[in-house]
């Protein structure tokens, strides 16, 4: 897409450059030829080092741009990004190269593998499985029936995914108009699942807006778990059934989350933290420990609170 | 089914009419030739205007019927409706007309579309998708892999449904015998999804008992959400992951429900209401605002309560 | 697998017996030729009656073994069982006998039925359904699209399972190394669903580690419910949407669980107990009643507590 076309789409006047813009990305990850954006002032510090060729940002921030980076001024950069994201969205199909299937791999007849995908050796890809374009599956992987793997997902070695689980569905992101409508932010990123991860049945892991949602080595995830876009699940973490992680939350290694526990978005949970069943996390956790309740507190405080409440009722 | 057969089935004596009963419906929606019922006294006011030919109702209520409407007396009308519903249940397959597929639409080879279904133009119907009899899908719709659309569902234009989601599964309704058994109320209605709705992965939306479960224009629904039979989700509402709506609840437009929040059944939520994550609604909400907690309260009250509880624990 | 091979695998010295070990099982269910284990002292009382040929157990417990039973000493029997379980795990495919399909049964063309499975009469097996090896499905069963039934599952007569539901996925069980890694306990058991059960959409029911996860006659289970390994759901129980049962919990008959309620593992819930929506059960319930809250209390106490809390906030 040429820059003047983008400018026109976003209603930015006076931009006549016809340089080709190859993609969208964050300030820190954008490469030359890509367009980026500043929609949240906490990312301001990344502007000076960006390698993006163009940045969408509010007029008062234009002076922050390094020399040679073109500004597209927008009063609502997040909305501009959403509007533009549709034009950079990857199609469901984008390759004419037949999928590569490794030696010793069994693919059931009703599985469907898109062109451009690649599957390693000694895998079992069962009935009804879908593997999207450019997805890469390692060796010794078992995908149980009706698993869906969206395009660009990367799945490591010896990964097991149980029936009905969805890897790489679109993250839940919209910009909101003044009329109350929601403009989709098309998801540009992917999901990476490292080696030796096991995922239960009917779980959902969303792809990243930009970059990757990441499930690190050896993690074990139970049934009906929701993992939002851009989350990172640390090595050897354990997520019990019906857990929910909102977008962009990072768990350290060996975090344990009990059944139905959940976190808000954009948090960091310290390594070796244990969250009891139903715990609800709304702030980052900096020290490992056992936490309970909603709002969250140390488990021993929660027990004390329950004892006090019981006394109040008796009184 | 002839009326005397219905009477016999329900153990109502003295009914020998052989008029053909074409279907079951609610008092307000029943047409001539249909049978209706009064199982909850709050619907009594609808009796006088009903166009049903026959009504199942308790003996003390028979005098409420308009002239010309035949009464089938039952001490447990809900049970009578359940017993009868099986005989009016629609079969999975009911048409010999090949499905209609619009121009520009891609249907993957392992998708299955029943006779009598119709799909618009420029849709993508991916692998493992099922579209039931008499279902109608609009233009520009994307159904990701392994989506199931039950019979009679109506899906508007530019709707996107992510992998594994189920539209139109049976609502959860049973009449209970004195022996503790549950008699299924076969679901007669459907699901309607209006234009520009997006639905995440592995979500479930049940069909209506009678009438329609309705997802209005522009709503956005995340992964693993449950929407019960006969719910109405207002225009441009946002339902975050793991939300649950029990049956017959109506959300106004632009309602926002945070992750894992839920409502009981038969409630009305005011337009522009925001429910925080984990909020649990047990009474209708008449004024828009921000609400939290279970039981539900204004968010600012909830914050105050948490502060007081923290003090109690410290004391 | 020969006993000396097992001993070598587990690092037990001095065992040279080459007797063939045919399988793994619990102390109470093991048969001659099988290997069992004692990993939790609460099962010590079952040792004296075990018919296992070999038992893995800690050195101080060896003296409890009946005469003729061979001991494999292990400081961490649970880890030993996990390491060994992989070698006794059943393959996805294990039979060359074509599946048996009863008279009057419709199987959609994209359903996949493994060899060794058997389906009764007058069933409807819809598109995308998977039925595993040695699974047995009764008469009059409807499996809606994209249901997955893992190997060895037993499904009774007149059972209905809605779209996307998964029966028999692996239970969530791991032994943990000192380095924080998780060693999978391969699941050896199955799921049994008795007659007249109905299960909603996108629900997950895990198979048992050993023995069976059991859903008894006439139970009704809603959408997005999680049932862990080795649970027992009593006759005519009702589990509303988004309920979660952790492993090895037993519900008596006619238990009702409201939406999003949940139980911890290894509990027993008295027959005819009602759990309100969101109830969280952490201890066994011995007397039927209506319970609410987390921690759980009698519903009337919960109401009283809420009233007291409201007063505290006002003060």
pLDDT band at A197 (very low <50, low <70, confident <90, very high): very high
Q: Are strands C244-245 and C262-263 parallel, antiparallel or unpaired?
A: parallel
Q: What is the CA radius of gyration of chain B?
A: 22
Q: How far apart are CA C10 and CA B310, in angstroms?
A: 50
- Prediction pTM value: 0.98
Omega within 30 of 0 (cis) for the link into A103: no
Percentages helix, strand, coil for chain B (3-state, rounded to 5) are 15, 30, 55
Q: How far apart are CA B161 and CA B225, in angstroms?
A: 13
Active-site residue flag, B229:
yes
Q: Which of residues 8-27 of A touch B (CB under 8 A)?
A: none
Extents of the domains making up chain B: 3-88
pLDDT value at residue A306: 94
Q: In Å, how far from its chain's centre is CA B105?
A: 29
Q: How far apart are CA C100 and CA C118, in angstroms?
A: 5
Q: How far apart are CA C305 and CA C315, in angstroms?
A: 15
pLDDT value at residue B315: 80
E strand or H helix at B79: helix B77-88
Q: How far apart are CA B249 and CA B232, in angstroms?
A: 6
pLDDT value at residue A251: 98
Task: List chain A residues with CB under 8 Å of B142.
Answer: 92
CA distances from A263 to A281, A294, C143 (A): 4, 10, 35
Q: How far apart are CA A167 and CA A190, in angstroms?
A: 9
CB-CB: which of C128, C246, C301 is closest to A146? C128
Residue A145 Cα, gap to closest chain B Cα (Å)? 10
Q: How far apart are CA C226 and CA C205, in angstroms?
A: 6
pLDDT tens digits, residue range A19-28? Answer: 999 999 999 9
Catalytic residue among C182, C229, C266, C299: C229
CB C26 within 8 A of CB C77: no
C78-91 mean pLDDT:
96
Please enumerate in sequence order all residues whose Cβ is within 8 A of that of A314, keeping only pairs 6 or more positions apart, or say none.
Answer: none
Chain A residue closest to B240 (CA)?
A: A172
Give all strands of the β-sheet with A70-73 in edge-to-edge order: A23-24, A34-37, A54-57, A70-73
Please enumerate in sequence order all residues whose Cβ is within 8 A of that of C178, keeping only pairs 6 or more positions apart, or say none.
Answer: none
pLDDT of A315 strictly over 90: no
**Rounded (10°) angle between helices C77-88 and C3-10:** 130
pLDDT value at residue A157: 98
CB B78 within 8 A of CB B175: yes
CB-CB: which of C145, C160, C218 is closest to B130? C145
Catalytic residue among A229, A236, A266, A299: A229
Question: Nearest 5°: CA angle at B13, between B10 and B18?
Answer: 80
CB B44 within 8 A of CB B60: no
Cα-flanking dihedrals φ and ψ of residue C32, to 5°? Answer: -55, 135
Interface test with A, best of C182, C227, C249 (most A CBs within 10 A): C182
Cα-flanking dihedrals φ and ψ of residue C9, to 5°? Answer: -60, -40
Task: List the chains bordering chain A where 3 or more Cβ pairs fall under 8 Å.
Answer: B, C
C201-219 mean pLDDT:
98
pLDDT of A314 strictly over 90: no
CB-CB: which of C112, C226, C280 is closest to A241? C226
Could you give the maximum distance between any two Cα atoms of chain C, in Å? 76
CB-CB: which of C112, C202, C305 is closest to A110? C112
Sign of CA dihedral B164, B250, C238, A261: positive
Q: Which of residues 284-303 of A touch B (CB under 8 A)?
A: 294-295, 301
Q: C261-279: b or e for each residue (b if 16 or more CB lie within 10 Å)? A: bbbbeebebbbbbbbbbbb
CATH architecture of C100-248: 3 Solenoid (2.160)
A310 touches chain B (CB under 8 A): no
Q: Is the Cβ pair C262, A254 closer than 8 Å?
A: no
Task: List the chains bordering chain C where 3 or more Cβ pairs fall under 8 Å.
Answer: A, B
pLDDT above 70 covers a percentage of chain B that reads 100
Chain A residue closest to B204 (CA)?
A: A202
pLDDT band at C14 (very low <50, low <70, confident <90, very high): confident
Question: Nearest 5°: CA angle at B249, between B248 and B254?
Answer: 140
Interface test with A, best of C108, C146, C169 (most A CBs within 10 A): C169
Q: How far apart are CA C151 and CA C163, in angstroms?
A: 18
Q: How far apart are CA B243 and CA B261, in angstroms?
A: 5
Task: List chain A residues with CB under 8 Å of B235.
Answer: 180
Q: In Å, how far from its chain's centre is CA B248?
A: 7
Q: In Å, how far from its chain's centre is CA B276?
A: 24
CB atoms within 10 A of CB A157: 18
A200-224 mean pLDDT:
98
Q: How far apart are CA B137 and CA B154, in angstroms?
A: 6
CB-CB: which of A222, A306, A312 is closest to C172? A222
Q: What is the DSSP letter of B137?
A: E
- Mean pLDDT over each residue of chain A, to the nearest integer: 97
pLDDT value at residue B184: 98
pLDDT band at C314 (very low <50, low <70, confident <90, very high): confident
Tell me the average confidence (pLDDT) per consecutive run of 10 residues in chain B, 315 residues long: 96 92 96 96 94 96 95 96 96 96 98 98 98 98 98 98 98 96 96 98 97 98 98 98 98 98 98 98 98 97 94 87
CB atoms within 10 A of CB C42: 8
pLDDT value at residue A60: 95
CATH architecture of A3-88: 3-Layer(aba) Sandwich (3.40)
Task: List chain B residues with CB under 8 Å of A202.
Answer: 164, 202, 224
Q: How far apart are CA A303 and CA A313, in angstroms?
A: 16
pLDDT value at residue B14: 87
CB B238 within 8 A of CB A183: no
A222 touches chain C (CB under 8 A): yes
pLDDT band at C232 (very low <50, low <70, confident <90, very high): very high
């Amino acid at each position: 897409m040429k820059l003047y076309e983008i400018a026109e789409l976003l209603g930015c006047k006076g931009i006549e450059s016809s340089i080709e813009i190859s993609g969208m990305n964050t300030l820190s990850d954008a490469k030359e030829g890509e367009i980026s954006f500043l929609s949240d002032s906490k990312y301001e510090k990344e502007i000076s080092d960006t390698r993006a060729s163009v940045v969408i940002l509010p007029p008062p921030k234009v002076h922050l741009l390094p020399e040679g980076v073109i500004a597209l001024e927008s009063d609502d950069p997040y909305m501009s990004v959403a509007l533009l994201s549709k034009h950079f969205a990857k199609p469901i199909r984008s390759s004419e190269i037949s999928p590569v299937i490794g030696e010793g791999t069994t693919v059931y007849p009703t599985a469907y593998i898109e062109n451009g995908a690649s599957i390693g050796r000694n895998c079992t890809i069962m009935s009804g499985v879908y593997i999207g374009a450019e997805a890469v599956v390692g060796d010794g992987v078992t995908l149980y029936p009706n698993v869906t793997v969206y395009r660009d997902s990367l799945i490591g070695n010896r990964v097991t995914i149980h029936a009905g689980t969805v890897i790489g569905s679109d993250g839940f992101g919209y910009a909101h108009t003044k009329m109350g409508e929601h403009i989709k932010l098309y998801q540009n990123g992917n999901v990476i699942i490292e080696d030796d991860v096991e995922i239960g049945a009917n779980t959902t892991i969303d792809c990243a807006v930009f970059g990757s949602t990441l499930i690190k080595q050896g993690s074990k995830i139970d049934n009906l778990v929701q993992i939002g876009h851009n989350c990172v699940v640390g090595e050897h973490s354990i997520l019990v059934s019906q857990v929910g992680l909102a977008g962009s939350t990072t768990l350290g290694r060996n975090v344990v989350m009990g059944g139905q526990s959940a976190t808000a978005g954009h948090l960091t949970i310290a390594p070796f933290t244990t969250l009891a069943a139903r715990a609800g996390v709304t702030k980052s956790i900096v020290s490992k420990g056992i936490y309970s309740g909603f709002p969250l507190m140390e488990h021993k405080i929660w027990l004390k609170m329950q004892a006090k409440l019981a006394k109040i009722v008796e009184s």
